[in-house]
Amino acid sequence: MHEVISKGILSSNNGMNIYRGCTHGCIYCDARSHCYGMDHIFEDIEIKSNVMQLLEDTLRKKRKKCMIGTGAMSDPYIHLEEKLQNTRRCLEIIEKYGFGLAIQTKSNRILRDLDLLKSINNKAKCVVQITLTTYDEELCKIIEPNVSTTKERFEVLKIMRDNKIPTVVWITPILPYINDTEENIRGILDYCIEAKVKGIIVFGIGLTLRNGNREYYYENLDKHFKGLKEKYIREYGNSYEVISRNHKEIMKIIKETCDKHNIIYDVREVFDYMRVFEEKNNEVQIGFDI
């Protein structure tokens, strides 16, 4: 890890990254892409040493309350969070000033902060977003090696359900020839149904590859799925969008399941839900951009 002094904390749409970089080791990670301009080793986590002061100063000056988003580019519950607790301190500030929260993670470390999530949700709205890509636990440990397993994340969803905290599941990315099967998707959807998730985000059945994350992904294909890299190169070349041959069939399953169980799946509608600030006096303010 290394520390920096940051000039700002919130984007123009009220999103923030508490950390920069990650140690979860997901083989498909888009945040490794060179286009994001990271000038340090991805696992050498950048710590904004003044993050709490920046956030407090910013929220204190805001004229209207809104949703604060975090987790889009860097998971707020990476391993260092156990020691540093910067995410927890940021949640304390959000709760203190009565703002809403939309937080995204793959880690059950979020349960440590259940007290704050409940308090934020009682004052405004707290939306917990969890990524689920792989129903098979052993495959999950290969694709997402240093993070909570799918079953552990499913337990998080159920705990949020029991505490009346709304949840959204990201079923993305789905990797061609690895987890792009009906069995895998139906298993994940069954978890979503049981956990009574509010919405599901799925952009399509596939993933994106560009300079930076493509090399890391192919390196892991060579390590865990012999011969698959060559198949990708033959079929997709250097395409940015890598779409599964099962895209249409699986998307149909997702839509039919969501319709049956009243789960929002239109991406724009889900984002709109997460951006709308809600308060007990029914004041509404549009907030962050994931």
What are the tens digits of pLDDT across the range 24-35? Answer: 999 999 999 999
pTM, rounded to two decimals: 0.95
SS3 127: strand
pLDDT (mean) for 88-111: 98
CA distance 23 to 77: 10
The tally of CA atoms less than 13 A away on the side-chain side of residue 204 is: 10
CA–CA distances in Å: residue 215 to residues 46, 67, 84: 22, 35, 31
* Residue 139, number of CB atoms within 10 A of its CB: 17
CATH code of 220's domain = 3.20.20.70
**pLDDT tens profile 144-202:** 999 999 999 999 999 999 999 999 999 999 999 999 999 999 999 999 999 999 999 99
Task: Tell me if 82 sits within 8 A of 148, measured CB to CB.
Answer: no
CA distance 255 to 90: 36
Domain span holding position 91? 2-286
CA distance 214 to 30: 9
Q: Mean of the per-residue pLDDT values for the chain?
A: 95
Contacts of 172 (CB under 8 A, 6+ apart): 131, 133, 201, 202, 203, 207
The pLDDT value given to residue 122: 96
The pLDDT value given to residue 290: 47
CA distance 7 to 204: 36
Q: Which residue from 89, 102, 103 is spatially nearest to 50, judged by alpha carbons?
A: 89
**pLDDT tens profile 232-244:** 999 999 999 999 9
User: In this model, does residue 282 exceed pLDDT 70?
Assistant: no
Residues forming a β-bridge with 96: none
User: In this model, does residue 281 exceed pLDDT 70?
Assistant: no
Token representation of residue 210 = 């560009």
User: In this model, does residue 270 exceed pLDDT 80?
Assistant: yes
- Whether residue 76 is preceded by a cis peptide bond, meaning omega within 30 degrees of 0, is no
- Number of structural domains in the chain: 1
